[in-house]
Amino acid sequence: MPTLVTDHWYDFRDLSNLSRVILEGIDKVAPYELAYIVAPIIGFVAAFVIFVLPSQLFVGVYGERRIIGRMQARKGPNRVGPFGLLQPVADALKLLQKEALTPTAADKTLMWAAPVFFVAPAVLLFAVIPFGPRMVFADVPAGLIFFIAVSGLPVLAAFIAGWSSNNKYSLFGAMRIVAMSISYEVPLVLVLLCVVVFTNTMSLPGIVEFQVDSNLWLIFMQPLAFVVYFIAVSAELNRTPTDIAEAESEIVAGYLTEYSGMKWGLFYGMDIGYALAAAAFASTIFLGGWSMWGLEQWVPPWLLFIAKTHLFYFVFIWTRGTLPRLRIDQLMGFAWKFLLPLAVFNLFLVSLERLWWNESDLGGGIVFIIMAINIPASAIAVYLWARFLGYKPERIPTRPRLVREAGGYVPVEDPAAGGQ
Amino acid sequence: MTRWWTGEELAEAAERLVPGSVARSTATACILEAEHAHEALRALRDDPETNFAHLSNLCGVDQWDRFEVVYHLQSLERNQVACAKVEAFDREEPSVASVVDIWHGAWIQESETYDLFGIRFEGHPNLQRILLWDGYPGHPLRKDFLAMPGGLQPGLNEFAGTAAKPEPPVRPVT
Amino acid sequence: MDNAGVQIAFWVLSILTLVAAGGVMVSRNLLHAVLFLIVAFIGVAGFFVLLSAEFIAMAQIVIYVGAIAVLILFAIVLTPQSIRDNSETAMVGPAILLGVALTAVFLFVIHDTTWATDATDPGLSASDLGRALLSTWVLPFEIASVLLTAALVGAIMLVRSETEESEDVPDADA
Amino acid sequence: MSEIVQSEPFVMNIGPQHPSTHGVFRVKATVDGERVVDAEMVLGYLHRSMEKLAEERTYTQNIPFTDRTDYLSSMSNNLGYCLAVEKLAGIEVPPRGQAIRVIMAELQRLASHCMGAGAFANDTGAWQTPIMWFMREREKILDIFEMTSGARLTCNYMRIGGVAFDLPDDFEEHVRALIGPLRETIADGEGLLSGNEIFLARARNVAVIPQELAVNASLSGPMLRGSGVAWDIRKADPYCGYEQYDFDIPIGYQGDAYDRFIVRLEEMRQSLRIVEQALEALPGGPHSTEVPLALRPPAGEAYARIESPRGELGYYLVSDEGPSPYRFHIRPPSLINLSVLKEMTVGGSIADAIVALGSIDIVVGEIDR
């Protein structure tokens, strides 16, 4: 595909030009070790200035509150700055000057260490995300595995936080989050394995290239994988309806119960960071990354990518604003009995298709045939498996019976007793 | 429309079900003999005519010379309400039979009555103070426990350091 | 070991891993010991990265940090006695003896091995690993998976309560 | 085999400071893992000894006390107390006063159920959205209360013999403007929750109370009706002329938390019907009868009860011809509905216990008084 993107440093459609120019300049005047040190700094600064910081502050904190405010028939933050846009800054300032309490009976070292453990992986996660065709900070061949590995670390930090607080609610939250992440990691990794089998690569830029080459996003080729990924990742990230680890109405704030001040702020901010990372990862893998059927020639690809990430994050916000929370045994059952078999089924299906693709000589058009097979197959699989597990839609009506006169008992079994 | 039984009607029904269980009756309530009260209340619940399956209200009244425990009984099927009373005369250790085994819902109201009046309910599964804390001095709804400032405050003895008990004020007894 | 960055990383990782491993030994609190162990695992994963074996490094983090450490943490928290201190036992002497012996063996092996330091790619990519696992080593691979499944079933049998055994299994939303 | 691997039950305090206890209320739950094996409630954090205080104040002075028992439905509390005093003293209320009382009591029921249904949804984890929708409507109702009585929460509006003031001129217009949006909000809330699979999974078959237990445990209000017992004091023992209005009693199917929720939603619809009818047929005339400020009812006793939003709210008064009641007892529906807490929670998980507690719709001011 011919590309319109040039190599000029001022071509903002590909920011890697700029950093390359800077690095080459440094290379000329300084020993080459300096470039090694400057390169990551440029990467981090770029990623943070362009993506992480604005997303976190204005989508994660401000946007989430505004959107949920809209859903809840209220205004949301609108006092600090224009339209309340400075609210995240005000929040951060407030948290900074707030006392970070530590209970006397807590394990103080671990309680201080937990937020640090929690923050570090969030920064690492963005290293492998391709923001544009050449805009990936670390093109690790096993980028997908890197992502899985690093996104498993915050669970440990949350566990440490919950355990060290020496609070029963915190311990409950800690146990729940570990149980949840262990359970949901299995279907999550299995559907990512489907992606790897299908695209034949484990590098994230490679997966994007695959989607660009086949002119079709993986969400259409593997809808089931996408659905399982979304559910599993929202469980891993403690987003509603699976936020049992910090279920406010049950265990107060779960593992964060004893945290306050900036220690809590780090957890809060990095929760959003992880959600954004998961959204970025999902848009890389399933939504075609920076590609948009040629539109990336005209619009900066990194903007497309950010838009997709925020779109995915909006779904998180949406579910949070509407859905009630499940119980822990229901969630465990859902992971092991429902998602896991579906993920295995999807792996089986995708492997077969990949074999067929390897053998056949249909060329690139085969992905459309696969799409035509997979979308109905996924729907049928979900439906049949739910039926097999004994699920049936609720039969009892959602409106109570109405009676005219008081007195006496209306038998439960008698459906004709009341009129609707 | 609910039929509100007079005391006489209830006395008649109770006497029919458990002979000798009625002490006397007033216009609104029927006072049951303490030793037969439990039996009579159970019979009133089970009898199809009275059918007082729902214990609407249970509370105590301090009448200076005696404590009354007031039961408002209710039948949902026959739509009627009656008021029964049981008296306890011992001022220091008043006690009546518990009706928790008849109406499950009585336990919380009996606990409350015990807490505020000091009336012991014999046979209550878990009789303890529910509104005030354990070790609270006295039972506040008794008439000799003064609430208003000006009088002594027996409830606050432990803070004031004076344990003097006031003379009961003279009030008309109905 | 050809440029400064790798050198610095090597020393940092070495110190981190060794200090963490020492922490595992001397820490009195079992939970702290496990956390030190996790840091040691992460350090070892760093070494794998330095050796250009990214896949092994990631697998090290996923398996050892993500799974095994969590399992140990679970075991510690769920076992009532072990939240307490990691107290002195009579096993200290033999353990030191064993440690010294192991160190001696390792030192001997390290000394005796001819370390190939040529710069060829070790070829440990994911596809190579996959091929190896499903062709040459397919039998041990399958045996290991059967063993793990058996362990899983055994664990479920151990913690399964009597009441749940009577329940109907296929119930998605229960 | 399970004796090999044993877990150790421990006590977990839900409350007194907990987002889901709706006040300072504490449940000492003994849990085995996530399963509740015993639940004991600890009350009294808000005990203000109202019954004792009322014995020192005149009958009229006691009306503000009743506001502060069930602070989410002060109008209903006023009404119950005034009915008891009127019954004790034999006072008649003019028709306009009765109609105003009915309107106010039903608006109060709407406001209270808005809170109850919303808070229940919040307890199931529907994070704030339903409760915010309902709170928006509740605000409008509270505005009407403010317009009428001068206060939003503790209205102190009913008087012995009628109501304190007549309705303001634009009252009817405001109430009519409220009814349509409130219907829509109820339908929205129902659409968001009633058919929601997650909500069903959380509330259906949770905290089931069979009919027999519901009656035997003296439950009342939506708790009793949710178990399928057709009992509503407005129908069974009409006060304030409720017999003139056309409405139905909603009853549930099997007595679980879900049934209680849908019963509350349907009750709101029925209340709207009553408000519409009462507005339509609002009679003229005085709003209150003249009652001496230092009322001395004849010696005797009276028990009057109304259907408050939480159930049967009874007032038992004993008079000794003095200016203040000799005995003043409130039958608090929240407290007595709590008597099945153990039956509802034991055996379920902690999350179920929260749902069970939310489905009772307790108000701690009324429990502790």
In a domain, B169, yes or no: no
User: A331 falls in which pLDDT band (50, 70, 90)?
Assistant: confident
CB spacing of D125 vs A322 below 8 angstroms:
no
User: What one-letter code names the amino acid at D148?
Assistant: T
State mean pLDDT over A285-310: 81
Q: Which range, A23-27, B109-113, C133-137, is most confident?
A: B109-113
Q: What angle do CA A97, A98, A103 make, to 5 degrees?
A: 140
User: C173 falls in which pLDDT band (50, 70, 90)?
Assistant: very low
pLDDT of residue C174 exceeding 50, the answer is no
State mean pLDDT over A25-47: 73
Q: How far is C97 from chain D (nearest CA, A)?
A: 34
Tell me the pLDDT tens digit for each residue of C155-168.
777 766 655 544 44
pLDDT of residue A419 exceeding 50, the answer is no
- A399 in contact with D at a CB cutoff of 8 Å? yes
pLDDT of residue A132 exceeding 80, the answer is no
User: D204 falls in which pLDDT band (50, 70, 90)?
Assistant: confident
User: A11 falls in which pLDDT band (50, 70, 90)?
Assistant: low
Average predicted confidence (pLDDT) for chain D = 86
Q: What is the pLDDT at residue A416?
A: 44
In a domain, B64, yes or no: yes
What architecture is the C1-87 domain classified under in CATH?
A: Up-down Bundle (1.20)
Tell me the pLDDT tens digit for each residue of A160-215.
888 888 888 888 888 888 888 888 888 998 898 888 888 888 888 888 888 888 88
- A156 in contact with C at a CB cutoff of 8 Å? yes
Cβ neighbours around B23 below 10 Å, total: 16
pLDDT of residue D235 exceeding 50, the answer is yes
Q: Would you say how long chain B is, in residues?
A: 174
For residue B83, what is the nearest residue in chain D, using CA coordinates? D303
Average predicted confidence (pLDDT) for chain B = 79
Contacts of C36 (CB under 8 A, 6+ apart): C20, C21, C23, C24, C27
Tell me the pLDDT tens digit for each residue of A52-111.
777 777 777 888 888 888 888 888 888 887 888 888 888 888 888 888 788 887 888 888
Cβ neighbours around D126 below 10 Å, total: 28
In a domain, D36, yes or no: no
For residue B78, list chain A residues with Cβ-Cβ distance below 8 A: 407
User: What one-letter code names the amino acid at D41?
Assistant: M
Q: How far is A406 from chain B (nearest CA, A)?
A: 8
Closest residue to A338, CB basis, from C29, C126, C172: C172
Q: What is the pLDDT at residue C98?
A: 92
What is the C-alpha to C-alpha distance for residues D199 and B148, in angstroms, rounded to an integer? Answer: 50
Question: Higher-confidence residue: A44 or D63?
Answer: D63
In a domain, D287, yes or no: yes
Q: Using CB atoms and an 8 Å cut-off, which of residues 195-254 of chain A contact chain D?
A: 240-241, 243-244, 247-252
Q: Is the ipTM above a cut-off of 0.90?
A: no
Q: What are phi and psi of A5, to 5 degrees?
A: -70, 130
Q: Would you say how long chain A is, in residues?
A: 420
In a domain, B171, yes or no: no
In a domain, D3, yes or no: no
Q: What is the pLDDT at residue C120?
A: 56
- Domain assignment of residue B97, given as a range: 3-133
Question: Higher-confidence residue: D199 or A53?
Answer: D199
- Domain assignment of residue D77, given as a range: 47-368
User: A293 falls in which pLDDT band (50, 70, 90)?
Assistant: confident
Cβ neighbours around C123 below 10 Å, total: 8
Chains with ≥3 CB–CB distances under 8 Å to D: A, B, C
Average predicted confidence (pLDDT) for chain A = 81
Taking only Cα atoms into account, the Rg of chain C, rounded to an integer number of angstroms, comes to 21
pLDDT of residue A23 exceeding 80, the answer is no
In a domain, D37, yes or no: no
In a domain, B146, yes or no: no
Tell me the pLDDT tens digit for each residue of D300-348.
888 998 988 988 899 999 888 878 888 889 998 988 888 888 888 888 8
Q: What is the pLDDT at residue C126?
A: 65
In a domain, D92, yes or no: yes
Domain residue ranges in chain C: 1-87, 124-167
For residue D205, what is the nearest residue in chain C, using CA coordinates? C174
In a domain, D346, yes or no: yes
What is the C-alpha to C-alpha distance for residues D114 and C14, in angstroms, rounded to an integer? Answer: 62
Q: What are phi and psi of D335, to 5 degrees?
A: -60, -45
Helix (H) / strand (E) element for C127: namely helix C126-134
Instruction: Report the interhelical angle of A366-388 vs A340-359 (nearest 10°).
Output: 160
Number of domains in chain D: 1
Tell me the pLDDT tens digit for each residue of A214-271.
888 888 888 888 989 999 988 888 877 778 777 777 778 888 888 888 888 888 888 8
Q: What is the pLDDT at residue A409?
A: 67
Closest CA to D369 of B104, B121, B59, B66: B59
User: A7 falls in which pLDDT band (50, 70, 90)?
Assistant: low
For residue B1, what is the nearest residue in chain A, using CA coordinates? A406
**pLDDT above 90 coverage of chain A, percent:** 0
CB spacing of B79 vs A406 below 8 angstroms:
yes
CATH code assigned at B74: 3.30.460.80
State mean pLDDT over D7-21: 79
Q: What is the pLDDT at residue A325?
A: 86
Q: What is the pLDDT at residue C170?
A: 42
CB spacing of D202 vs A325 below 8 angstroms:
yes
Segment among A290-294, C14-18, C96-100 with least mean pLDDT: A290-294
Q: Using CB atoms and an 8 Å cut-off, which of residues 259-288 of chain A contact chain C?
A: none
What is the C-alpha to C-alpha distance for residues C44 and C51, in angstroms, rounded to an integer? Answer: 11
In a domain, D283, yes or no: yes
CB spacing of C160 vs D197 below 8 angstroms:
no
Residue-by-residue DSSP string for A267-315: HHHHHHHHHHHHHHHHHHHTS-TT--TTGGGTS-HHHHHHHHHHHHHHH
In a domain, D25, yes or no: no
Classify strands D158-159 and A401-403 as parallel, antiparallel or unpaired.
unpaired
What is the C-alpha to C-alpha distance for residues D177 and D185, in angstroms, rounded to an integer? Answer: 13
Tell me the pLDDT tens digit for each residue of A378-410.
888 888 888 887 766 666 677 788 777 777 666
Closest CA to B57 of B105, B115, B6: B105
pLDDT of residue A420 exceeding 50, the answer is no
Segment among A133-142, A382-391, C77-86, D228-237 with least mean pLDDT: C77-86
> What pTM was estimated for this model as a whole?
0.83
Q: What is the pLDDT at residue A334?
A: 87
CATH code assigned at D225: 1.10.645.10
